[in-house]
Amino acid sequence: METSKEMFRQVEDHYLFDDIDLEKEIALPYGTPTYVFSAKKIRENILTLKQAFQKTYPNTSIAYSLKNNDIPEICSVIASEIDIFEITSLTELKFVEKLVLNQKKNLNLILTNIYKSDSLIDNTIHFPRNSNTSDYNDHLNLIAIDSYQDLKNVERIAKKVGKKPRVSIRVNPGIKMDISETIFASANISAKCASIIADIEPIIEVSNDPTISIWLPKRETTPKNDFAEKLVQDAIESKHLELVGLHGHLGSQIANIEYFDRFFEVISRFYKLMNEKYDGILEILDLGGGYPVDYTNSGGVPTIEDIAKVLTKNIQNANIKPDLIIESGRYITASSGILLSKVCLTKENSEGKKLAVLDLSVYSDLLDVLVANWCYDAILMNNLPKQIDKNKGSCWTLVGGTNDTLDQLTPRSSKCSKCDDSLKGENERWFPKELKTGDLLAIKHAGAYTTCFNSNYSGRPIPTRILITEDQTNRVQLL
Ligand SMILES: Cc1ncc(COP(=O)(O)O)c(C=O)c1O
């Protein structure tokens, strides 16, 4: 199978993505800024997840977390490989309903949001109401209960409609995570989602990790109702709910394998404890998302294979045999998308720094730069010098085309993937030549948590979207 490096590649003086010439076949005819997605790459990423997790634990299902990218044509590709969609809103549910009709395939839902409106709960309980399949089965869908009030809301709607939804309890393991580093942490003690595991002593007792107590900070208080043990008991005792599993979510773009290790251990041990207490009632362990993308090609994130091994180790140590679910978003779509952008103006500031103004804005086109100080790789694709000399070239600050100070592609990583120079605290990038108007840049790994934030901020148009299809007669599809 082709690797991502080969899929985005330089051939002489031009760049190809999935064998399409990005300048000649996309930028020239369609203009910039343009997101370019590869259907093949989406499939490849899903296959990587399936192979890695199913190799070490065959009973693993991969779900797609819809919020990161909900472009219909992209989701159709995903729906041809994946049967479960993780959703958070009624709009997303209706979107999946349409996918079911278009794909002529039954899809299952996992509803996870911190707040679920009555109609969202009602529609999830009845999904797929409008399905064209005769094989209707509303028991395939799962509602992840986040809090006590959420449980009461789901219970109230279930009673009203007279159907017993399958539910899981979303558990917060409350592990120690450096939230300044792990910006999207969701399993630390102060997280807003899920309900904390209150009693960690039984987990510490059975763990064979001598450092486990360091990873599980003391709980200062136990909430009155919002803790995992109580929600499990309440769900079991409810006449209107069918408790089938536990749900956990470590966060997004988790780059530290230690976090995965501890998260998997704590949630597996808790699953075991609950199953011992309640006669094996649990059968599903949903481990959420967070599987990371190597944005800077520096190898600084754990591989999916490493994460899968750590997961299997912890499942075996806890001696449990659940049906596992992985809910991935970022890993499936990020590397399947590139944002093509053009230098529209160059200028110098009073410190002698050279600024290249791009025809994008991070506010609307690459929001993670702002909310997570994300570093996207930017590759010069045209007007390349005949020979690339590492000692020549020049450093540029890439800025978005609005007046806002924060509208800059500031790198987050400490190393520049091309020149090995430390970039921390700086915002310059090395290019093999002086940048000038008309130069074309490829912002890599721009497929996740980007298009879903597109807006007309500052009166800017939404970037064009293109899918490179697998149809050899019609490879470039305007979305
Ligand atoms: C409950 C849940 N599952 C899955 C995901 C997907 O995470 P990622 O895109 O990092 O794989 C998210 C996103 O934050 C989430 O909140």
How much is the pLDDT for 424? 46
Residues 6+ apart with CB under 8 A from 452: 67, 68, 69, 70
CA distances to 26, 38, 84, 390 from 477, rounded to whole Å, are 10, 10, 26, 37
CA distances to 297, 378, 413, 437 from 417, rounded to whole Å, are 6, 10, 9, 24
Q: Tell me, in angstroms, the distance from the centre of ligand 1 to residue 249's CA.
A: 7
Q: What six digits make up the tokens of 98?
A: 């349409």
HSE toward the beta carbon, residue 112, CA cutoff 13 A:
23
For the purposes of burial, counting CB atoms within 10 Å of the CB of 338, is it exposed (0-12), middle (13-18) or buried (19 or more)? Answer: buried
How much is the pLDDT for 421? 53
Q: What six digits make up the tokens of 274?
A: 């609950």
Task: Give SS3 for 46.
Answer: helix
373 sits in the region (left: phi over 0; alpha: psi -120 to 50; else beta) called left
What pairs with residue 123 in β-bridges? none
Distance CA 447, CA 339 (A): 8
For the purposes of burial, counting CB atoms within 10 Å of the CB of 205, is it exposed (0-12), middle (13-18) or buried (19 or more)? Answer: exposed
Q: Tell me, in angstroms, the distance from the centre of ligand 1 to residue 189's CA.
A: 18
How much is the pLDDT for 26? 98
Which residue in the block uniquely carries the two structure tokens 């009709």? 101
Ligand 1, residues at Cβ distance < 6 Å: 65, 68, 86, 112, 249, 252-253, 288-291, 327-331
Could you read off the pLDDT tens digit of each residue along the chain, which spans 479 residues? 545 557 999 999 899 999 999 999 999 999 999 999 999 999 999 999 999 999 999 999 999 999 999 999 999 999 999 999 999 999 999 999 999 999 888 899 999 999 999 999 999 999 975 444 444 444 479 999 999 999 999 999 999 999 999 999 999 999 999 877 777 888 888 899 999 999 999 999 999 999 999 999 999 899 999 999 999 999 999 999 999 999 999 999 999 999 999 999 999 999 999 999 999 999 999 999 999 999 888 888 999 999 999 999 999 999 999 999 999 999 999 999 999 999 999 999 998 889 999 999 999 999 998 888 788 999 999 988 888 787 888 999 999 999 998 899 975 444 444 445 554 445 788 999 999 999 999 999 999 999 999 999 999 999 999 999 999 999 999 99
pTM: 0.94
Q: What six digits make up the tokens of 31?
A: 């203009």
Architecture of domain 4-38+337-478: Beta Barrel (2.40)
Distance CA 447, CA 6 (A): 17
- Please identify, by atom number, the ligand 1 atom nearest to the C-alpha of residue 330: 9
Query: Measuring from atom 3 of ligand 1, which residue has the nearest CA?
Result: 288
Query: Measuring from atom 7 of ligand 1, which residue has the nearest CA?
Result: 289
Judge if the upstream peptide bond of residue 302 is cis by omega within 30 degrees of 0.
no
How much is the pLDDT for 390? 79
Distance CA 264, CA 250 (A): 9
- Please identify, by atom number, the ligand 1 atom nearest to the C-alpha of residue 332: 11
Cβ atoms of 34 and 27 closer than 8 Å = yes
- Please identify, by atom number, the ligand 1 atom nearest to the C-alpha of residue 449: 9
Q: Tell me, in angstroms, the distance from the centre of ligand 1 to residue 326's CA.
A: 10
For 83-328, the fitting CATH number among 3.20.20.10, 3.40.1280.10, 2.40.50.420, 3.30.200.20 is 3.20.20.10
361 sits in the region (left: phi over 0; alpha: psi -120 to 50; else beta) called beta
How much is the pLDDT for 411? 54
Residues 6+ apart with CB under 8 A from 413: 295, 296, 298, 300, 375, 423, 424
Question: Ligand 1 pocket test: which of 252, 332, 450 has the largest number of ligand atoms within 8 Å of its C-beta?
Answer: 252
How much is the pLDDT for 134? 42
Cβ atoms of 407 and 361 closer than 8 Å = yes
Question: Ligand 1 pocket test: which of 92, 142, 193, 249 has the largest number of ligand atoms within 8 Å of its C-beta?
Answer: 249
Distance CA 67, CA 267 (A): 24
- Please identify, by atom number, the ligand 1 atom nearest to the C-alpha of residue 252: 10
How much is the pLDDT for 213? 93
Question: Which residues in the chain are classed under CATH 2.40.37.10?
Answer: 4-38+337-478
Closest CA relative to residue 150, chosen from 92, 244, 225, 248: 225
HSE toward the beta carbon, residue 124, CA cutoff 13 A:
32
Neighbours of 119 (CB within 10 A): 11
How much is the pLDDT for 180? 72
- Please identify, by atom number, the ligand 1 atom nearest to the C-alpha of residue 328: 11
Question: Which residues in the chain are classed under CATH 3.20.20.10?
Answer: 83-328
